[in-house]
Amino acid sequence: SLSVSITDKNGRRVSRSDTLSVCSAPYRVTLSSTGGSLTTLYGVPNSSTFSGSSVVYYINPNSQQPGVCYARPNRYLGGNTGNRFVNDIDHFTYVGPADIWDPDKGFLVQSTNWSSYRLNFPTTGADGLYFDLDISGVDASQLTWSVVTRGAIRATVSWTRPRSDSHRDPIWGTVQHDSWISDKSKNVTRVTLNGPRADSTRIQSSNPSPLIVPSLPQTFVLVGSDRSGNEVRYGFVLKQWFVHRGDKEGTLYEQSSWCSGLGYRTSQVKDLTNASGGYWQGAMPSSGFAGYQRRIGAGFFTEWGYIPHYASTGFLADSFWTGDHILNLGFTVYPASGDVGGYDVFRHHYGLCTVP
């Protein structure tokens, strides 16, 4: 008998009816046969036997069409089954739909058309956050990048090594930067966001001066080109911008007042996580359990993963107050997993603000 097996570059099985993509190339095609015999009516001799064997071919479809395949933020927590991350076990419940999230690669590109760039990651941001682009069909090291946008938020693209340094967090101690990247010897195409952020004077003040409020949504188009005329584009639309209060803890009312002073509002549960349950309203689509499920447009922590493990953002590894409360029961969100907690509104937690 004859059989054919097709797998992509990641070892995933591919059906013969599937559309092939440069992002999954090269494809491995294995043709196999079992042993047997061949007999004809005529000929001397009129039969022969043969043994089983196989042959392998590699296919590179659309090799002249370079493009972005994935946008990779912090992959933890995102379904890397069994990995212990801080005090949480990364398991399948955090995994988003297969057409949106890959536990090893990050977010799949949802659109290459200007009219629907809003479907791509990210839709939320904060100063200093970054993600990496997985590019196929072209040598990413040879690309020169320009960014088309207009507004108070900036995006820069660089060809750089992942961070291998660390910082100290008052809760978890030493925090290793870019810990979700196993091989730090290879450069990455990194996109970094910069925009309004509270300085130390504002952080310590109970009545801070107003901060720049970006006009949102803001569209970004990243264009990379090489000397051969190859061009790669990636677009996204930021719909929300977040500003934290550093290590300054306070009651729910104190943090809400601080956000108002900046000209922002206190983040709600649905701004941060798509966790479900309890007396709060999480983002939609709901994760269906107490933590987040990695999706685009379903909350700040849902999109970016464990925020405190990004280098140079100033986020700390403990719960943030939200504006959601029932009488004196206020709700917080834990940044590692998107879990929601309920506490007395006079208890002290970190502050996180957003616009719009």
Tens of pLDDT, residue by residue over 21-42, are: 788 888 999 999 888 888 888 8
Q: Mark whether 216 and 311 lie in a shared domain.
A: yes
Give the chain's length: 356
Q: Mark whether 37 and 166 lie in a shared domain.
A: no
Q: 133: which strand partners?
A: 71, 189
DSSP 222-245: EEEE-TTS-EEEEEEEE-EEEEE-
Tens of pLDDT, residue by residue over 307-354, are: 988 999 999 989 999 999 999 999 999 998 899 999 999 999 999 999
Measure the CA–CA gap between 163 and 280, rounded to whole angstroms.
37
Q: Mark whether 207 and 297 lie in a shared domain.
A: yes
Q: Mark whether 46 and 150 lie in a shared domain.
A: no
Residue-range definition of the domain harbouring residue 33: 2-59
Tens of pLDDT, residue by residue over 207-217, are: 999 999 999 99
Q: Mark whether 86 and 37 lie in a shared domain.
A: no
Q: Per the confidence metrics, is the pTM higher than 0.85?
A: yes
Q: How many domains does the chain have?
A: 2
29, 59, 89: which is the final residue of a domain? 59
Q: Mark whether 11 and 87 lie in a shared domain.
A: no
Q: Mark whether 133 and 111 lie in a shared domain.
A: yes
Q: Mark whether 309 and 333 lie in a shared domain.
A: yes
The mean predicted confidence, pLDDT, of the chain is 92
Tens of pLDDT, residue by residue over 73-126, are: 998 877 764 555 544 566 778 899 999 999 989 999 999 999 999 999 999 999
pLDDT mean over 53-72: 87
pLDDT of residue 161: 97
Q: Mark whether 224 and 266 lie in a shared domain.
A: yes
- CB proximity list for 148: less than 8 A, separation 6 or greater: 220, 221, 222, 223
Given a cut of 90, whether residue 235 has pLDDT beyond it is: yes
Given a cut of 90, whether residue 198 has pLDDT beyond it is: yes
pLDDT of residue 81: 47
Measure the CA–CA gap between 243 and 214, rounded to whole angstroms.
11
Collapsed DSSP state (helix, strand, coil) of residue 71: strand
- CB proximity list for 44: less than 8 A, separation 6 or greater: none
Q: Mark whether 82 and 175 lie in a shared domain.
A: yes
Q: Phi-psi category of 179—alpha, beta or left, where left has phi over 0 and alpha has psi -120 to 50?
A: alpha
Q: Mark whether 55 and 78 lie in a shared domain.
A: no
Given a cut of 80, whether residue 183 has pLDDT beyond it is: yes
37, 59, 81: which is the final residue of a domain? 59
Q: Mark whether 145 and 129 lie in a shared domain.
A: yes
10, 29, 59: which is the final residue of a domain? 59
pLDDT of residue 87: 46
